[in-house]
Amino acid sequence: MHYRPLGQTGLQISVLGLGTGTRFGDPKNQSRTDATRLVRTALDLGVNYIDTAPMYLAAEEILGEALAGVPRERFLLATKFFPADEHGAPFTPAQLRASVVRSLQRLRLDTIDVLQLHGLRPHWVNPVMDALGGELEALQREGKYRFLGASETIVEDPRHAMLPLVAPSGRFSMGLVGYSPLSPWAELRALPACAKHGIGVVGMVAVPRALRDPARLQQLIHEARGRGEAGVNELPGENPLDWLIDEHTPTLAAAGYRFAVAHPAIASVLAGTLSREHLEANIAAVCAPPMPAVQLDRVRQIFLRTDPDKWRPYDL
């Protein structure tokens, strides 16, 4: 495993982080024994960064069980607080505190390493920080969490406007950013803003369904051609992304993870999986030599010219 610094936090995090989104948190998908085995395997393979959230069904509780007895220095735990209701009204400081305390209880931890504001929309930034900034500082002073982060929502913020907004404030130490070969737009503004202000970046959504399902990829490309989207028109008709496959990249899923960690601003990329085989393949992809410049350039030439409001390859 390789490790990189997470911005200016002083943390060294594994280039592959374990995502424990809703699929992981849904008890229908795996037994507690399987979940514990997967988490322990990830740790044994050198993964030290685990991302979760109260919204991921039972994920925090499952992790609490899986990590019980694991020496605390072996892992860094990042969880979240979703900061506003469906109308965009910020939750109260008491609701924030209660959520953090519940996360600590479920995770069976004394401190959270990274607390992220979950799915922070650009227009929520000011109201949320006005409402919760003081309590966030208090919780940090009390040691309930170490570093503050912000996770974006690629569906509602496809131009990645939130991180450039919060980066100069000095309040945030990390950002969780959607970044894949099919949606590389974060590198235009969000990643440079994070790098400039010393914010550590973790990547997510590196492998949307279209990189695992050739029919879905063909459908997206067909629709984009119908709209006359620049860039996508240059893709070959058959096996449109096979030029990303090489000796270190056996699949397009590997290409997604390998592309994400090729960006120098990205410390780690999250991969959620319920499969040991996929976990091992994903680690091999992020630890392979950097993706060649010719492939990176071609991805940029094609996909940076798509329109993020229309080309929306995010479904998982």
Ligand X SMILES: NC(=O)c1ccc[n+]([C@@H]2O[C@H](COP(=O)([O-])OP(=O)(O)OC[C@H]3O[C@@H](n4cnc5c(N)ncnc54)[C@H](OP(=O)(O)O)[C@@H]3O)[C@@H](O)[C@H]2O)c1
Question: Known catalytic residue: 56?
Answer: yes
Residue pair 54/102 in contact by the 8 Å Cβ criterion: yes
Contacting residue, 97, 106, 118, 263, with ligand X by CB under 6 A:
118
Which residue of 9, 20, 79, 99 would you call a contact of ligand X, by CB under 6 A? 20
Select from 245, 274, 284, 296 the one that contacts ligand X (CB under 6 A): 274
Catalytic: which of 3, 49, 56, 314?
Answer: 56
Comparing CB distances to ligand X, the nearer of 111 and 153 is 153
Q: Which one of 30-38, 140-148, 223-231, 264-272 is the stretch in contact with ligand X (CB under 6 A)?
A: 264-272
Q: Is 101 in the site for ligand X (CB under 6 A)?
A: no
CA 281 and chain centroid, separation: 18
Under the criterion CB under 6 A, does residue 176 sit at the interface with ligand X?
yes
- The single-letter code of the amino acid at 197 is H
Q: Which helix or strand (DSSP H or E) is residue 34 part of?
A: helix 32-44
Region from 3-11, 85-93, 267-275, 294-302 binding ligand X, contact rule CB under 6 A: 267-275
- Total site size for ligand X, rule CB under 6 A: 27
- Token pair belonging to 289: 């030599």
**Residue 252 beta carbon to ligand X: minimum distance, rounded to whole angstroms:** 9
The whole-angstrom separation of Cα 276 and Cα 274 is 7
Q: Which helix (H) or strand (E) holds 165?
A: helix 162-166
DSSP letters for 229-275: -TTGGGS-SSSTTGGG-BTTB-SHHHHHHHHHHHSTTEEEEEE--S-
Nearest CA to 52 out of 110, 1, 118 is that of 118
- Rounded to a whole number of angstroms, the minimum distance from the CB of residue 226 to ligand X is 26
Judged by CB under 6 A, the chain residues 49 through 78 that form the site for ligand X are 51
Give the relative orientation of helices 32-44 and 59-67 as an angle to the nearest 10 degrees.
60
Longest CA pairwise span in the chain (Å) = 57
Among 195, 245, 281, 304, binds ligand X (CB under 6 A): 281
Rg from Cα positions in the chain: 19
> Rounded CA gap, 306 and 270, in Å?
24
The site map against ligand X for 124-153 (x = CB under 6 A) is ---------------------------x-x
Per CB under 6 A, which region of 100-108, 192-200, 202-210, 299-307 contacts ligand X? 202-210
Sole binder of ligand X in the list 19, 83, 149, 240 (CB under 6 A)? 19
Which residues are near ligand X by CB under 6 A? 19-21, 23, 51, 118-119, 151, 153, 176, 204-207, 212, 251, 253, 270-275, 278, 281-282, 316
The catalytic site residues sit at 56
